[in-house]
Structure 1
Amino acid sequence: MSTKSTKLEQASKWDTICFPVEVVPLVDLLNEPYLLPSDRNWAVVGEMTPGRKTIFAMQSGEYTLIPNALVREVADRELPGHKLSASFTDRGEFSLSIVMPDEVSEIATTGISQVRDRLFRSLIVNNSYSGKTPFSLQGSAEWEKEVTGRRTEMRVSYFREICTNGLMGWADDYYTLDEYLNWLAAGKPTKHRKIQQEREAEPVERADQRITHEHEILIERKFHHKGLNLDVFRMHLQQAFQQFMKRSHSLTSSIYKELAHKPVEGDREKLFTDTKLPKKLAAIALERLAHEETLLQTDANMWLAYNAANYALFNSKSSLAINDRYRQDEQMFHHFAELAMQ
């Protein structure tokens, strides 16, 4: 968690977040000889503002930097017609919503509203030059299953036009709506059925294919920027983007419609404080909910409430790092889903 309260900056152009960045020996940056720590003596240096260089972090010699330019290269090749909606900090944390041109749904649009509540398929990439947010794709490091030969279906995230926020596909780890509801009813245990099934599955024989160290790194639950071969990484990222392009529907979008059918009743202030949002963010969410009621000419429902909380979380000053904001967003999504489906 960051100790500085920060409002995320926004960008719609790749050039803004694809500035020069490299990992250099710390000794090369010092004017005098110093005795340096043996474990972290390389500096991640970037030029976010032309002519002004920033040291984002100190890392070991085994650290592998994943530049945003690499993500851009693969996106330009595999995701035709995409647009970028990026949130980032001046300390080198990034959340990249790569938005596809195909509109997939309208959730809260009403007949009397002149504003459409449009959703577009999106692929969310989180990256960091500071080390605070490990690289993830759709909120997970598990986007390859080389050991078992099984592929989990890629989550589908969404971009909501009227609030310009990326919405992660938090329900896509479940096979069916009933399975998701059972998980909610069981108190949201950590180990859900899909993970258990994968652990219990018999490994597929791969005698004719050598599993390299780079492959093994990519299947770990927590992504590590250590000893990566960027050529292998680029290949895996390309395959993941191709897999995403094959998906047109997700369970998460079905949950959104369930949320939209459940009206907000009772104490609205309590509704947001129960999400564990900090008090100031809960107040911003309350204001946003009222704004969208007017904008969309509709009564408040759980879909608008979830989006109001998401808006407050990602558009307000907070000491939460980007990774921590997504963790809280996941908790809020399941919280509102549970309220809507009681």
Structure 2
Amino acid sequence: MTYISAQPVLTNDWDDICYPINPVWLTDLLPDYDIIATDRQQLIVGEPLGGRKTIFGIQSADYTIIPNIWIREVIDKVFGKNYTVQIKYTSTGEFSISIILSDGLSIGSESLQRSMIVTNSYNGKTPLTIQGQTFTAMASGGNKPGTSMYRAICQNGLMGWADSFGKLPDYQHWLEDKPKIKDKKQPVKSTQELRKIHHSRLTPELFQAQLFEMLAGQKKARPTLTATIYEHLQQRTMTKADEGMLKRLPIPVQLAKQAQERLRLEERILGASPSYWLMYNAVNHALFNARSSLTLNDRYKLDERVFHQLAASSFT
């Protein structure tokens, strides 16, 4: 089935995504019918501000919607008024929420702010994640989220893709052993697999208690491996041999063209020479601003692959 093309919309207002969202049971709509498809029992119906009621998806009976207001309440409890929010969302019911904090670091001449990135969806296409890790995996494994950075020049959040490795030699060793990806196709999880990594039967109280515990330790900044990689990418300028690199990255051709345009624009704005750092940001900007049939989950998966591929190239 072809997925609807969508372009992420940017907002700084929680209210744009904290609209009413509720299940509508098929048994209530069709009381005279026996519904055999057990994985299709409830419609996920939202009421976006100023819009019509929208059916975002059809889920199984044990699927629990995570309203964005639940996330907002926890964020407010953890960070109080000491944050700003930037949200990218689609008309198809997917959300990328960046919690931007006051502290940060410098990469070259740029100042970045520390942030937390939470994703959610009402269509089941993008799982609930904190810093790229699924909520269910973190809840069951006790993993702590990494950190991300917010880059104001292009209003994009950068995920801490290397943080889980801890030390630079461990990450470099993993990059060396990682099989080279020859094709540009991103493996796509089936709808059934996505439902498995999403959430089911969570009460508001249980969800918010677990999310609070995951985020409570994020108030204080700490050194991260990803920040070290950013600095390395910034110092690695592009040579003539690197000119065709964008074409070799695992992204669609049209997005590569948009990334090339963004790269040239940032070179002019910053008065800087092209670097691996600017290239990564150009791809990130294209991924999260372009109209595409890619879900937000797909875009983050591609962003992660691009980050690791550029990091691997920068160390050679």
TM-score between both structures, scaled by the size of structure 2: 0.88
Distance 1:122 1:248, change over 3 A: same
After TM superposition, the structure 1 = structure 2 runs for residues 140-289 of structure 1, keeping only pairs within 5 Å, are 140-141=133-134, 142-144=137-139, 151-187=142-178, 223-266=197-240, 270-289=244-263
Q: After superposition, what is the alpha-carbon deviation per residue over 1:83-133, rounded to whole angstroms, capped at 9, x for unaligned?
A: 11111111111111111122x112131xxxxxxx22111111111100111
**Cα distance, 1:339 vs. partner?**
1.4
Partners of 2:51 and 2:164 lie apart in 1 by 44
Q: Where does structure 2 lack aligned partners over 5 or more consecutive residues? A: 181-195
Total equivalences in the alignment: 300
Partners of 2:315 and 2:44 lie apart in 1 by 47
**Cα distance, 1:154 vs. partner?**
2.4
1:143 corresponds to which letter in structure 2? Answer: M
Structure holding more helix per residue:
2
Distance 1:4 1:238, change over 3 A: same
Partners of 1:2 and 1:126 lie apart in 2 by 22
Counterpart residue number, 1:121: 114
Counterpart residue number, 2:191: none
Counterpart residue number, 1:48: 48
1:20 corresponds to which letter in structure 2? Answer: P
Partners of 1:295 and 1:237 lie apart in 2 by 39
Q: Where does structure 1 lack aligned partners over 5 or more consecutive residues? A: 110-116, 190-221
Distance 1:51 1:322, change over 3 A: closer
Partners of 2:167 and 2:144 lie apart in 1 by 13
CA RMSD of aligned residues (A): 2.3
**Cα distance, 1:27 vs. partner?**
4.1
**Cα distance, 1:42 vs. partner?**
1.0
Decide which structure has the larger Cα Rg and report it: 1
Q: 1:154 touches 1:243 (CA, 8 Å); kept in 2?
A: no
More divergent stretch after superposition (261-270 vs 85-94)? 261-270
Query: Counterpart of 1:181 in 2: which secondary structure?
Result: helix
Q: Report whether the alignment pairs 1:134 with 2:127.
A: yes
Q: After superposition, what is the alpha-carbon deviation per residue over 1:183-227, rounded to whole angstroms, capped at 9, x for unaligned?
A: 1111269xxxxxxxxxxxxxxxxxxxxxxxxxxxxxxxx633222
More divergent stretch after superposition (280-289 vs 1-10)? 1-10
Distance 1:284 1:108, change over 3 A: farther
Q: After superposition, what is the alpha-carbon deviation per residue over 1:4-46, rounded to whole angstroms, capped at 9, x for unaligned?
A: 322111111000010010112124446x854534411211110
Partners of 2:2 and 2:89 lie apart in 1 by 13
Distance 1:134 1:145, change over 3 A: closer
**Cα distance, 1:230 vs. partner?**
2.6
Distance 1:51 1:176, change over 3 A: closer
**Cα distance, 1:261 vs. partner?**
0.6
Q: 2:107 touches 2:231 (CA, 8 Å); kept in 1?
A: yes
Counterpart residue number, 1:64: 64
Q: 1:156 touches 1:249 (CA, 8 Å); kept in 2?
A: no
TM-score between both structures, scaled by the size of structure 1: 0.82
Q: After superposition, what is the alpha-carbon deviation per residue over 1:251-306, rounded to whole angstroms, capped at 9, x for unaligned?
A: 10110000001001125652111112211111111111111111111111110010
Partners of 2:222 and 2:106 lie apart in 1 by 15
Counterpart residue number, 2:272: 298
2:52 corresponds to which letter in structure 1? Answer: R
**Large movers: runs of 4+ above 6 Å:** none
Name the % identity: 40
Q: 2:7 touches 2:291 (CA, 8 Å); kept in 1?
A: yes
Q: Report whether the alignment pairs 1:330 with 2:304.
A: yes
Query: Counterpart of 1:162 in 2: which secondary structure?
Result: helix
